[in-house]
Structure 1
Amino acid sequence: MARFVRLSLVCLLVSGVSLALPAGAQGAKKVYISVDMEGISGVNSDNQTSATGAEYGRARKLMVEDANAAIRGAFEGGATDVLVNDSHGGQRNLLPEDLDPRARLISHSFKRHGMMEGLDSTFDAVLFVGYHAKAGSPRGVFAHTGSGVVADLQVNGLSVGEGGMNAILARWYGVPVVLVTGDDVAIEQQKATAPDVRGVIVKRAINTRAVELLPLVEARRNIQQTARDAVAGARKGRPERLSQYTVRMTFPNPNIPEVVTAFREVKLVTPTTVEFSRESMPDAYRLIRVLYRFINPD
């Protein structure tokens, strides 16, 4: 019998028949997915992105459908463990009962690392779903950074939005950002911090509000297929850890710098710009988040 089995295997190999193994058997992968709302397929109005908006419930449904498309693709690409982080607003938008049951979910906004809570060096790939352009972009649907109180954010001299800031944190852990979905401006901006990222354009920004939407079925299909290919091709690198991370934040409201300079390490550069340095990106990220989210100057 053993001889027969060996002979059969040889015949199959000679004939060119592929002995494909299940995706997980080819190398298990742990995947992290951060999901925002402004860059989700079909979302194009303020009354969708706010929890008090008339179409918020509809937007939540759109959001989870894009997330599920990415989850399906991740598992098809070899993922055996997927962690999803709800990354919009109060960060309780994704309903657990609607999310693909194979994925774990981080919910609520009280997090040290916000949109990247839970990421560490054990992951093999990061996916950004529903991302948007940075503050100050002349084109890009819902262009903003953080909670909307930031006019510009720079890390070591590079102006970044949420996607850029999050990618720098991922690089600290040596985990590649392999996918970003959103409008065309968001995808292009992401390449500044993740040059090899695969982008899925689900809508084309006409300006910061008007948008040309891709059909939903096509958008989800593209997300799933690209997520599958991105995860399958993901290759971890060495952690990129600089000796210092210097952050500059400019606020349109001068009352914010007035308050945040209460932190000893935060220095006033101009009446609307502050600067600080930290020795690690996770530490810098935590303070960035405090400055844009948890300080109310009113």
Structure 2
Amino acid sequence: MKKIYISADIEGIWGNSNPAYTMRGGAEYEEYRTNMINEVNLVISALFENGVEEIIVNDGHGNMDNLLPSRLDPRVSFVSSNGAYKPYGMMEGFDDSYDGVCFIGYHCRSNTAGIMAHTNWGAMIRNIKVDGMEMGEAGINARLAWEYGVPVILVSGDDLLKQQIEEELGKGFSYVETKKAINSQCALCCSWNTLMKRYQTEIPKALTHATMKKEVTSHSMEITFHHERNAAFASRMDNVIRIDNCTVRIEKDNYDALYRMMRFIIKTGNAFA
């Protein structure tokens, strides 16, 4: 594999466990941001060491401006933006030119036991179902990659995420455990040296995963909000069907269009969170 896409989040990163520190203004935000930058750079270095020629990095957390350009590995390209203006959010800049996708620092879906578990916008979204199956961010994002024929080759996060990802993606990926969940805001983190060894072991395996056949088919999605008012607002949009007090349903002829519509509904709904 020569060209790799990295989508990075912060909750699943090594050393991080408290949601109060994951957003700008939090007391330890700079430490959490540093952990994110360091781990992404660790992945980048291992990918290049194993023959990858081109890497693009996309920040997928919060306003999506946590990865400081001056501190990223100078060999990579990256997406820079005000997160609200990214039509594809955590998958911005992705297309069918990539050979593989890495989800770094990801977390469990909402209302499960993983570290800082949530789905897309935790304060607003209760859950999201794709084609009838509840999914977290990894499953939702993976299906966009699949539509373009690109496999998810590597995922990292806490120990509980691996089982969820196997439910949502199957088993055709490599996994790096960054920490063990004691509860939703308490983690047992491995040593940094152990983390390095885990990535160095798994990345060569990840790069052997096979490409996929493109499959463009119609899909449906149900978005359940915490509050009735968000569903009421979203249902005023064309082709958004309200199916109960807090849930709306959308259908599209391809997953790319479904994904962009999901992103639009969530971002506009945030005005009424």
Distance 1:61 1:220 in 2: 16
The equivalent residue for 2:176 is: 200
1:218-247, CA deviations, whole angstroms, 9 ceiling, x for partnerless residues?
A: 11331243223312x1321111222x1111
The secondary structure found in structure 2 opposite 1:257 is helix
Distance 2:265 2:188 in 1: 34
The equivalent residue for 1:258 is: 232
The equivalent residue for 1:144 is: 118
Task: Give 1:47 deviation, angstroms.
Answer: 3.0
Distance 1:221 1:72 in 2: 13
The equivalent residue for 1:54 is: 27
Distance 1:229 1:71 in 2: 15
Q: What code does the residue aligned with 2:260 have?
A: R
Correspondences of 1:215-294 after superposition (within 5 Å): 215-231=191-207, 233-242=208-217, 244-294=218-268
Q: What code does the residue aligned with 1:167 have?
A: A
Distance 1:71 1:229 in 2: 15
Task: Give 1:82 deviation, angstroms.
Answer: 0.3
Correspondences of 1:65-76 after superposition (within 5 Å): 65-76=38-49
Distance 1:124 1:53 in 2: 37
Q: What code does the residue aligned with 1:83 have?
A: I
The secondary structure found in structure 2 opposite 1:97 is helix
Question: Does the CA contact (< 8 Å) of 1:135 and 1:161 recur in 2?
Answer: yes
1:213 counterpart = 2:189: yes
Distance 2:156 2:26 in 1: 23
The equivalent residue for 2:66 is: 93
Distance 1:134 1:112 in 2: 21
The secondary structure found in structure 2 opposite 1:212 is strand
The equivalent residue for 2:110 is: 135
Gaps of 5+ in 2: none
Q: Which runs of 4+ in 1 moved over 4 A?
A: none
Distance 2:187 2:72 in 1: 27
Task: Give 1:280 deviation, angstroms.
Answer: 1.0
Q: CA RMSD in A?
A: 1.3
Question: Does the CA contact (< 8 Å) of 2:173 and 2:209 recur in 1?
Answer: no
* Count of aligned pairs: 268
The secondary structure found in structure 2 opposite 1:220 is helix
Task: Give 1:212 deviation, angstroms.
Answer: 1.2
Question: Does the CA contact (< 8 Å) of 1:147 and 1:293 recur in 2?
Answer: no
Q: What code does the residue aligned with 2:237 have?
A: F
Q: What code does the residue aligned with 2:80 have?
A: S
Question: Does the CA contact (< 8 Å) of 1:71 and 1:224 recur in 2?
Answer: no
1:148-201, CA deviations, whole angstroms, 9 ceiling, x for partnerless residues?
A: 111110111111011110011110011000100000122221122322111111
Task: Give 1:209 deviation, angstroms.
Answer: 1.3
Task: Give 1:78 deviation, angstroms.
Answer: 2.0
Question: Does the CA contact (< 8 Å) of 1:124 and 1:234 recur in 2?
Answer: no
Question: Does the CA contact (< 8 Å) of 1:85 and 1:105 recur in 2?
Answer: yes
The secondary structure found in structure 1 opposite 2:222 is strand
Q: What code does the residue aligned with 1:184 have?
A: D
Q: What code does the residue aligned with 2:244 have?
A: T
Distance 1:87 1:193 in 2: 19
The secondary structure found in structure 1 opposite 2:206 is helix
The equivalent residue for 2:129 is: 154
Match of 1:77 among 25, 50, 53: 50
The equivalent residue for 2:154 is: 179
Correspondences of 1:9-28 after superposition (within 5 Å): none
The equivalent residue for 2:164 is: 189
Distance 1:194 1:77 in 2: 24
Q: Normalized against structure 1, the TM-score is what?
A: 0.87
